[in-house]
Structure formats: C-alpha cells, structure tokens
Chain A
Amino acid sequence: MAIYQTLRFDFDLPLAGMLALVQLLFCSGFLLLQYGLTKAAPEQHARSQLAIRPDRQRLGVRLWDALILTLGLGLFLPPLLAIISSGLNPRLWAALSSSRLWHATLTSVVIAGCAALLSVLLTLGLLSSSRYLRLRLQRRRSAALMEATGSVILVLPAVVLSTGLFILLRNVADIFTLGPVLVLLVNALMALPYGLRALQLPMERVSLQYGRLCTSLDVQGLARIRLVEWPLLRKPVALALALAMMLSLGDLSAIALFGSQSLQTLPWLLYQQLGNYQMIDAAATALVLLLLSLGLFGLVEGVLGGKDAATE
C-alpha cells in the first residue's frame, strides 16, 4: 500500500524504489528461512497421490481433525457468508445494471484468461526443459536451478515487480496504454510457482513411466503430446490454469499501479467503491467477483480437466 501511494499519489520514485527494495529483502529473508527450516519430503511420499494416515480409525485423532477443520472453516466461512448476505440486498439489481461493473467483469475475465494461459505455457516450457535436464542428461542441479527461476516471484512480489516495470518503462512508453499487457504479464508470473508445484511431479511421472517406451516406438512431437502427455496431464494442467485464473481475478497489486479509468478490473473497482463509501455497489461487485471466481474455477477444472477431475 505504501508503494502504491508513493507511486500513484506522491509520484516519489526514489522512495517507491526504496520501499520495493525493503519488501524484496523481507521476502528473500523469509524465503531463505523457509528453505532452511523445511526438510524435503521423502521421495515416495511426495510421489504418492494420497497422504497415508494409518491412525485414521482412532476416534481421538478424528475428533482432533474435525476440530481443526471446523476452526479453519470458522475463519473462512464468515467473510464468505458476509459477502453473500450483503450482496443479496434490495438494491442489488440496480447495482448489477451498472455498465462499469460489467465492463470491469469483462476486463477481469480477459486478463485472467490470458494471464492463466501465458502462465501455464511458461510453466510447461520450464518443466519440459528441467525434466529433460534431470531425466535425460542427469543434470539435477541445472534442472533445480531452472525450476527455481520460476519461483523467483516468491522473492519478487507482484507489487515489487510492478514497481520495477513502472520505473523502467515510464520514460520509454505510456505506462497506462501498456497497462493491460503489464497487468497480464505480472499476473502470469505471480501464478508460476503454483503451476510449477501442480505440474512438476505429474510431468516427471509421465516421463519416467513412458519416456523410454515412447522413444522405442518413435512416439514423439505432436503425437506424443496428443496421445500421451495431454491425456495424462490434462487434470493438473486444468488445476494450474484454474489456480492462475483465480490469482489473476483477485489481484490488486499490478492493477493498483497500472489501472486507470479505462482499465478497471473487479478488485480495482471494488477498492474504488469501498474508498468512496459506495457500500451497496461494493457488495454487488464483491458478490460478482466471488461467483465469477467459483464458477470459473469449477468450469476450467471440471471441463478442461475431464470428467473425473478434482483438486487433489
């Protein structure tokens, strides 16, 4: 928020750059701490589809699990119900007839769709290369390094990346004309770490199981994608695409810097409506955003992922 205000209200670029650097340092520190404290999961557990719980028959354990889940739902459900109850008000239809709302909805869907597609394509490209390095050339360190580049966004949060792009491009192009492309790019990069995690193991599994057979039968190129990779990977690809769309639909970092009167997404519209105390309109916008997110997630994962697709 401080970076946003410094850039958009004060236009103090040196201060914005410094704040972005502070944010970068914090994120790097926390990421290093996470790598230091986390132990790699045993190989067979990481590869198994389901967590093994031999203690699941014990009543005490089940009650404890139920309590934890209830507490989790207690944090998650009230705001969700608040959005629905405040959205369903007598002036909802009037708010829903706003062309601004539907224009923002369309912009959100287009940006989220394109960003998700770009993110998944980048993820597939990165993982295809890292898979080749790891399994064919036995260069595990290079493969891990390549995958780490996809997770660099964890160190470089969307707002920092957007600030960098803002400072870099402001003298060479009209930032607000390039807005949609920049928001799309930042949103696509934001989703990369999640796409990598959703697709890395399934892609390696396909290669380990079928790579040698495909080579011996000359099932390569498009035939391999059509007959082997796509049928086996459509479920995790759909999950990666749906996750990327959700992240982009809810993003307020990039759009806060590059948004304008002509470029408005639902979160950006919601933020403006809340700032102007248009609570009824904001409730309607929040309801549309919620329904859109849930609907698109279900649609993308269910249709693209196939009839038995479900989030693992």
Chain B
Amino acid sequence: MLQLNNLCSRYPEQELCFTLSAGAGEITALIGPSGAGKSTLLAMVGGFTSVDSGQLLYDSRELVPLTPAQRPITTLFQDNNLFWHMTVYQNIAIGLAPSLRLTPAQKATVELVAGQVGIETLLNRKPSSLSGGQQQRVGLARCLARRQPVLLLDEPFSALDPALRFELLELLRSQTDQLQLTVLLVTHHPDEAARIADNIAFVHNGRIIESGNRELLAAPQTEELKAYLGQGSSEG
C-alpha cells in the first residue's frame, strides 16, 4: 500500500499538499487542469523534488529520506525516457544493471518483458528507428523489467493516437493485474481514466479535492471538477 499523508512541498508561488492511498493491483488516475500539481505529485513520490513535510509510506516504510533509485518505485516520464544512442535491448537492460553488465537471469528478464510488451523483434534497433508507440513500449518494458512494486506514469502516452494510446493502456492494465503493481497515472484525458483506472483523484490548485472510483466522472460533486469536465453549474 502506497500512502501519502499530507505530503507537502512549498514553492514561492504555490503550496502543494496531498493525501492519498493506493493499493496493489490498482491504477489511480490523477486528473486536473494544467498547473494543478499532478506532475509535481509524481515528482514528490518519485524523489525528484524536495518534500517539506508529511509522510510518504510504502507498506509502512518511510520513503522520503531515500534517493529516487532507492525507492521501490519506477517512473515512466512524459518524455526523455530512452537513451537515443543505445539499442532497445540496452535501454531495457540499463534498468536492471546500471553498468549494463547483466547476469544470465537479468538477460532472460529483458527478453521476457520485451515479449510481454510486443517488442521482442526490435531489440537490436535504436529508438530513432521506432514509431512513437514502439518507443513508449520500450520505456514501459524497462519499468516492468525493474520489478518495482510502484509504477509512476506522467502522461507517457499523451502524444500517441487514440487507438494506440488505448492499446498501451490495456497493456498497462493487464500488467498491473498480473504483477500486482501500484500505479499512479497522470492523464489529461478523463476518458482514459474512466476506462482503465480503479480510482480517480482530481487535483486542483495543489490539493486532491475530490476522489473516488470510476463513477466519480459521471457524478462530480465539486464545481471545480464539473468545470474541468466541461459541465457548467447550470447543467450540474
């Protein structure tokens, strides 16, 4: 179980504080307008930005003092997920061994996850020769190969066509169920959230002001979420 207990980060222009729980095998979608703090929330959990107060727990273990690499977390960023001078194989393998010196078991893991995400025939290619969807599969394959229980995704599929996006989201759903991952997914697409997420959290002005299951989008309670979904107060 991943828990954020009033986890706060303060900036001159904004204070962000989040409280959230996410269990194994669950996808929690973070939705909200630009600048609300969704990506900063992921950065705080991933260890890429400083935390001023609050608790970040995974199975009752405090994560705040740990470096990003020490946390039981792996992140798929919005961009710059791949080393363009390395092959697909190396891009996955570096997630398992930063020196790229792999044990036979690690080599087998690379082959296995490449098969799971459908890129087993592309292992010797460079990312520049792949399509956008294939590139994101490589990033996802590395995340899965690392076998970390928490997966953070910061709009990783936002630049893809809808069909491809949903294909990759289905893949994410199946891997989450199979590996019992705890997933936090930032998205700008409420339909995406409604389709694959178990829980949805609406982030507004540095806070989670409304959360619930998929039904949340059908019956929003706050004016802010209604406005975000394009349902004016007269309609609501």
Q: Is A220 an interface residue (CB 8 A)?
A: yes
- Contact residues in B for A231 (Cβ distance below 8 Å): 85
Contact mask B65-92 → A, CB, 8 Å, 1/0? Answer: 0011100001101001101011000000
A201 close to chain B: CB less than 8 A: no
Q: Among the listed stretches A33-41, A51-59, A61-69, A208-216, which one makes contact with chain B, having 4 or more residues with CB under 8 Å of it? A: A208-216
Picked from A215, A220, A223, A228, the residue with its CB within 8 Å of the CB of B83 is A228
> Bound state CA distance, A276 and B80, in angstroms?
62
Give the interface SS of chain A, mostly helix, strand, loop or mixed: helix
B86 neighbours in A (Cβ, 8 Å): 227
Q: Is the CB of A215 within 8 A of B80?
A: no
With A and B bound together, what is the CA distance between A226 and B83 in angstroms?
A: 13
Task: Establish whether residues B80 and A216, one from each chain, have CB atoms under 8 Å apart when the complex forms.
Answer: no
Q: How far is the CB of A33 from chain B (nearest CB, A)?
A: 37
A219 at the interface (CB under 8 A from B): yes
Q: Do the beta carbons of B98 and A220 come within 8 Å of each other?
A: yes
Interface string of A254-295 (1 = CB under 8 A from B): 000000000000000000000000000000000000000000
Q: Is A24 an interface residue (CB 8 A)?
A: no
Instruction: Count CB-based A-B contacts (< 8 Å).
Output: 43
| Chain A hits for B75, CB < 8 A | 216
Counting CB contacts under 8 A, is B164 at the interface? Answer: no
CB–CB B83/A218 < 8 A = no
CB pair A217 B94 closer than 8 Å: yes
Query: Given the complex, which residues of B lie within 8 Å of A228, measured CB to CB?
Result: 83
Instruction: Contact check, A218 vs B69: say whether CB atoms are below 8 A apart.
Output: yes
Query: Which residues on A sit within 8 Å (CB–CB) of B80?
Result: 209-210, 212-213
Given A215-B69, A216-B69, CB of A232 within 8 Å of CB of B85: yes
Q: How far is the CA of A217 from the CA of B98 in the complex (A)?
A: 7
Shortest Cβ gap from A160 to chain B (Å): 43
**Bound complex: CA A212 to CA B86 (Å):** 17
Chain B residues with CB under 8 Å of A209's CB are 80
Docked pose: A213 CA to B100 CA in angstroms = 15
In the complex, the answer to whether B68 meets A215 with C-beta atoms within 8 Å is: yes
Q: How far is the CA of A162 from the CA of B67 in the complex (A)?
A: 47
Chain A positions within 8 Å of B100 at CB level: 223, 227
B127 interface residue (CB < 8 Å to A): no
Q: Is the CB of B68 within 8 A of A223?
A: no
> Which residue of B74, B83, B85 is within 8 Å of A216 (Cβ)?
B74
Task: Report the separation of the CA atoms of residues A70 and B22 in the bound assembly, to the nearest whole angstrom.
Answer: 69
Task: Report the Cα distance A212→B68, complex, angstroms.
Answer: 9
Q: Which of A197-252 contact B (CB under 8 A)?
A: 209-210, 212-213, 215-220, 223, 226-228, 231-232
Residue of A whose beta carbon sits closest to that of B85:
A231
Closest Cβ of chain B to A305, distance in Å, is: 14
Check if B46 sits within 8 Å of A216, measured CB to CB: yes
Q: Is the CB of A213 within 8 A of B81?
A: yes
A212 neighbours in B (Cβ, 8 Å): 48, 77, 80
Taking CB atoms, residues of chain B closer than 8 Å to A227 are: 83, 86, 94, 98-100
| Inter-chain contacts of B206 with A (CB < 8 A) | none
Please name 7 pairs of A and B residues whose Cβ atoms are closer than 8 Å in the assembled complex, sorted by A. Answer: A212-B77, A213-B77, A216-B68, A217-B69, A217-B95, A218-B67, A223-B99
Q: Which residues on B are within 8 Å of A, measured CB to CB?
A: 46, 48, 67-69, 74-75, 77, 80-81, 83, 85-86, 94-95, 98-100
